[in-house]
Amino acid sequence: MDFDPPFQETYKAIFQDSISSITDNGHQNPNNLMVEEYELPVIDLSHLFMETSTSRDDQYCNNNNKKNNEEVVVKEIVDAARNWGFFEVVNHGIPEQVLKCIKYEQKKVFHQPFHQKSHKNVLNLSPNSYRWGNPKATSLNQLSWSEAIHISLTDISKMDNIQHNSLRLAIEEFGNKAFSLAKNLAGILAGNLGVSCSYFEENCPPNSSYVRLNRYPPCPYSSNLQMFGLVPHTDSDFLSVVSQDDVGGLQLFKDERWVAVKPNPRALVINIGDLFQALSNGVYKSIRHRVVASSGGSERFSAAYFYCPNIDARIESCSDRQSSLYRDFTFREYKSQIQKDVQDTGDKVGLPRINEA
């Protein structure tokens, strides 16, 4: 397809090496990326957003029920963040129309010819906003068979070309709705730690977050090579909200092994990021996850919202200094350390940098 990035030409040497090492060993590649499928905990948020009824008696009963239901949902959210670091939400407040719209627009933009996406700064955003593969990859396990548009919500006003109006509106709408959802969830998780939810009011304004649109083109090598759509990583934010389609491919590292997440397009995936793990002193888990390259001719799309603080926000572990696993740091410091590690080694180190004294 003329819209697919030139993976095969660019990484020819890597593919040849990997294929010949399988042939030389004289056996089929055990595809370790085929793993058991799990259903994530699914949490119904409708009780958190439930309206009260009109009659006073009804209102009294409903208020009591509402409080009980709310307590149950809060416990489900806290337990999932502690035990899984990943969960799914339904009745989450982001209208289906908004999710359909972003999927439609992202498909449209990714289906433009590759030379247009890569050579012209087609969306008027920063030059590295459109990404594919991994320029630093020297081996198969560093290579992501995907392309992405990474958008800082501060920059969204730069998308002022009339041609991109509908994409811009879709991103803004998705960003606004995901912001409310992320803020509510962060407030609940913070409340359980005894951290004031004003922390998020003060440190996470709406435009400090990012939206990332992902496309995973079908990969011709995925039946005999272990190909990632997105290499294993943790997210560098407080929490992420991900809308995925029904193709599947997302996997997470749970209890010392990789498990596949059963796709559920009705639900949004929520995962805890590094900043919440640090803030919670390790109570909430930022779990490694990856995407397996798409096979069987289907492309996969996802849209992720990364709930981030402003660049100079301080992240302090909520426990007392003696038992704290992490030193205080700013988001700026964290991001530049990650950038440096990726530059130097091709990999992000992440939180282990923060528990070094």
Ligand X SMILES: O=C(O)CCC(=O)C(=O)O
Work out how close the CB of 163 gets to Fe ion at its nearest, in angstroms, rounded to a whole number. Answer: 29
Counting contacts by CB under 5 A, is residue 235 touching Fe ion?
yes
Structure tokens at 212: 């990332």
- CA-to-CA distance for 182 and 270, rounded, in angstroms? 9
Report which of 128, 133, 136 is spatially closest to residue 152, judged by C-alpha positions.
128
For ligand X, the closer CB: 148 or 167:
148
Taking the complex as a whole, how short is the minimal distance between the CB of residue 25 and ligand X, in angstroms?
31
244's contact among ligand X, Fe ion, none, with CB below 5 to 8 A by partner kind, is ligand X
Name which of 45 and 250 has its Cβ closer to Fe ion.
Answer: 250
| Residue 82 appears among annotated catalytic residues | no
Among ligand X, Fe ion, none, partner that 125 touches (CB below 5 to 8 angstroms by kind): none
Question: Which of ligand X, Fe ion, none binds 219 (CB below 5-8 Å, type-dependent)?
Answer: none
Give the shortest CB-291-to-Fe ion separation in angstroms: 8
CB nearer to Fe ion: pick between 204 and 252 = 252
Buried b (16+ CB within 10 A) or exposed e, 78-89: bebbbebbbbbb
Instruction: Name the one range near Fe ion by CB under 5 A: 127-135, 171-179, 182-190, 235-243.
Output: 235-243
For residues 60 and 62, give the distance between their C-alpha atoms in angstroms, rounded to a whole number: 5
Q: Which stretches of the chain bind ligand X, using CB under 6 A?
A: 212, 214, 230, 235, 242, 244, 250, 289, 291, 302, 304
Residue 280 binds which entry of ligand X, Fe ion, none, with Cβ cut-offs from 5 to 8 Å by kind? none
Q: Which of 300, 321, 327, 332 is catalytic?
A: 300
Nearer to ligand X, 210 or 329 (CB): 210
Minimum CB–partner distance for residue 202 and ligand X (Å): 26
Catalytic residues: 300
Q: Which residues bind Fe ion (CB under 5 A)?
A: 235
